[in-house]
Amino acid sequence: MFSNIEKLGGRTISVIEELGRLGHFLLTVVTSLFSRPFGWKELVKQIAFIGARSMPIILLSGLFTGMVLALQFYDVLARFGSVDLMGSAVGLSLIQELGPVMTALMVIARVGSSTCAEIAIMRNEQQFDALTCMAISPYRYVMVPRFLAAVISIPLLTAIFNVIGIIGGYIVGVFIKDLSGVAYMQTIIDTITWSDLRMSIVKSLIFAVIVIWIAMGKGFYVHLEKGVSGAEAVGRVTTKAVVASAITMLFADYIASSFLI
């Protein structure tokens, strides 16, 4: 009984400690945004990695998500005789919710995991110690370009996901279910408002910060992982980073939706 309470207490303390560490990490990254010299070359490299190289999975997942949405909405709307509204249903679902969430999940899977593992390995190989000893801040040199690249790339990827999703819905609606293409597009134009687009942009920005923050922070503190070291610790923090990013992102999605709807 007492040992269980002790365990629970110990766990709570370690969770609070980790939250404090990650909070301090984010704060240091944000304050380092303004320090010089700025690593433009590294920023471009990271935008290419996070943004450009994520394009294939964003295009594919966006297309299929839009197609599935169209099938599902057609089935539901047909029961109420409102299939004409399919364009707005697909568009709104994508822009308000599925676009930002699915893009963030794809980026977590592709970029979050590799960023976390890369930073954890850098820590294990004393690369951060080496940077510190060269009077180069690891936050400014390593974290800031990745942070900015995520904040720039993820909203753009979300926008691309939304557009491709709408095209996917169009393919199913117009070519398979014989709906009018003009009507499909017109209902989207008539329904989508600036506040829907704002919700998409705000959510994708919040998700970008969450995804890159947790991936980098978990990797940066790999040496504090209890009971493991080396490759095992890298594997463990990478798994934890992916799970924590996904859960935190979905929680933030609920909070953001409740404020923005």
**Distance of closest approach, residue 45 Cβ to another protein, in angstroms:** 8
Q: Tell me which stretch binds another protein (CB under 8 A): 6-14, 66-74, 133-141, 143-151.
A: 133-141
Q: The tokens of 89 are what?
A: 């249903």
SS3 content of the chain, % helix, strand, coil (to 5): 90, 0, 10
Do the Cβ atoms of 196 and 95 come closer than 8 Å?
Answer: yes
Distance between CA atoms of 101 and 211, rounded to whole angstroms? 11
**C-beta of 60: minimal distance to another protein in Å?**
28
Instruction: Read off the tokens for 79.
Output: 């029961």
Please, what is the Cα angle at 61 between 185 and 187, to 5 degrees?
Answer: 15
Stretch that binds another protein, among 61-69, 130-138, 196-204, 225-233 (CB under 8 A): 130-138
Rounded least distance, CB 155 to another protein, Å: 25
CB of 238 to another protein, least distance (A): 16
Token code pair at residue 80? 């109420």
Give the whole-angstrom CA distance, residue 66 versus residue 98.
9
Q: How many CB atoms lie within 10 A of CB 176?
A: 12
Residue choice 135, 227, 258, 259 for contact with another protein (CB under 8 A): 135
**Binding-site member from 109, 121, 151, 185 for another protein (CB under 8 A):** 121
Site membership for another protein, residue 17 (CB under 8 A): no
User: Which residue of 130, 243, 247, 255 would you call a contact of another protein, by CB under 8 A?
Assistant: 130
| CA-to-CA dists, residue 66 to 71, 128, 210, 249, angstroms | 9, 43, 25, 21
Interaction residues for another protein, span 172-201 (CB under 8 A): none
List the one residue from 30, 57, 136, 201 that touches another protein (CB under 8 A): 136
Quick check: 243 binds another protein (CB under 8 A)?
A: no
Ranges within 37-56 binding another protein (CB under 8 A): 37
Binding site for another protein (CB under 8 A): 37, 118, 121-122, 125-127, 129-136, 141
